[in-house]
A and B are shown apart, each in its own frame.
Chain A
Amino acid sequence: MRMSKIVRTITALIFWAVVVFGLYVVIHGHLTPGGGFQGGAVIASSTALFLVAFSKEEFLKKYKDAFLSLAESGGLTLFISTAFLGIGTTFFYNFIANSGGIFGNPVPFGVNNGDLNTGGTLPPMNMAVGLEVFGGISLILFFMFLGAYLKPFNKEESEVHKE
């Protein structure tokens, strides 16, 4: 069962905006407030929005849940491998900062001046953690949404669902 037509239309209208805003928070994690965890939670709430306005059948038809598992595992793997790359000095050493290459510029002081090419290993780690948190929280929400159908509300429905 879905919610009313008005709620569904508004959901379709603002769904992509939630995704873009979450990606903005993740990408600007080293310049403005936010970061991987917060941005991942915002993107995962887009999954919650879709699930609550539409139904589980529609979710399963439009998106694959294997993709969520892949995002979760891939994010964790990416995070640990980025940490391992700095093992020449220590684990989690920020070896690209101020080195001049990609992600290697020094940062000037200021608010959101758009220097995305800074931060060393921080932007890749932000993206990895964002991917992992998005996959993890979406999977929890999705499976709990499926589990909520296990117990129906009233007596007659429970007779139908007993199998």
Chain B
Amino acid sequence: MGSYVVVTILSYLFYLILTMSSGDLGLWSSSELVVGIPVALVAGLAGGRVFGEYVPASLLNPIKWVLFLYYVFVPFFIAMAKANIDVAMRVLTGKINPGIVRIKTGLKKSMSLTFLANSITLTPGTLSVDVDEESNDLYVHWIDVKNIEPEPAEVCGDFPQWARRIAE
């Protein structure tokens, strides 16, 4: 039930963002504000059935949103810039030492696992290949293998802590 309400509100907000700056009532015209309600109801009915299983309710905490914005703009962006300089060096020199290693993440929710996997795909030298469905361990393609059985901090820094703090 809660997921239906959340998806309906999200859909209404998304519709308003799509039709921004269209008229007289502030940024929106009155007909857009009215038509958005049935659109949001339909999308909530369709999307709420699957949303609640994968997105935990603890994400409704506003402190996590602030943390998320900080995470995206500061640590994540710096890691991404480093990743691209790293890729540039490897493209120019052609020096690789690849391998697929397994890291224990210790995360429980699938949302935080997704957060971690997408983060480490976009950050230096790592690409998430597969995921163990039971134990939530990630198989990571590491472009510069230093250790056959590494600790998580060795591969992806402090991203597991960020994932636990933000998305769990």
Contacts and interface: CB of A to CB of B under 8 A. Distances in A.
Direct contact of A and B (CB under 8 A): yes
B23 A4 contact: no
Interface stretch (B27-35, B70-78, B94-102, B155-163): B27-35
Nearest to A111: B22
Interface residues of B, number: 38
A88 interface: no
A112 interface: yes
A19 B43 contact: yes
Contact of B29 (A5, A16, A63, A114): A114
Kindly name the residue among B43, B48, B117, B133 whose own CB sees the greatest number of chain A CB atoms within 10 A: B43
Contacts of B40: 20
B114 A10 contact: yes
Contacts of A50: 50
B124 interface: no
Interface in B90-118: 110-111, 113-114, 117-118
Contact of A6 (B22, B32, B35, B113): B113
A12 B7 CA distance: 11
A16 B7 contact: yes
A27 B130 CA distance: 40
Contacts, number: 99
Interface string B1-35: 00000010011001100110011000011011001
Interface residues of A, number: 30
A55 B147 CA distance: 38
B14 A116 contact: no
B42 interface: yes
Nearest to B38: A23
Contacts of B31: 114-117
A49 to B, nearest CB: 10
A37 B32 CA distance: 21
B50 A4 contact: no
B125 interface: no
A113 interface: yes
Contacts of B131: 4-6
A62 interface: yes
B7 A24 contact: no
Interface string A23-58: 110011000000000000000001000100010000
Interface of A: 4-6, 8-13, 15-17, 19-21, 23-24, 27-28, 46, 50, 54, 62-63, 112-117
